[in-house]
Amino acid sequence: MAALERISEEKMQQYLAKVPQWQRSGNAITRIYQFPNFLMAMGFANAVAICAEAAQHHPDIAIFSWNKVKISIVTHGQGGLTENDFILASKIDAIQP
Amino acid present at 1: M
Between 3 and 49, name the residue whose CB sits nearer to a second copy: 49
List, in sequence order, every residue forming a beta bridge with 71; answer none if it has no partner: 31, 61
Between 14 and 53, name the residue whose CB sits nearer to a second copy: 53
Q: How far is the CB of 8 from a second copy (least distance, A)?
A: 26
Among 53, 55, 90, 95, binds a second copy (CB under 8 A): 53
Torsion angle in degrees (nearest 10) through CA of 4, 94, 22, 76: -30
Among 66, 77, 79, 94, binds a second copy (CB under 8 A): 66
- Backbone phi and psi for residue 27, each to the nearest 5 degrees, phi listed first: -90, 15
Question: Nearest-5° angle of CA 63, CA 52, CA 15?
Answer: 95
Among 12, 32, 40, 45, binds a second copy (CB under 8 A): 45
Which positions touch a second copy (CB under 8 A)? 38-39, 42, 45-46, 49, 52-53, 58, 60-66
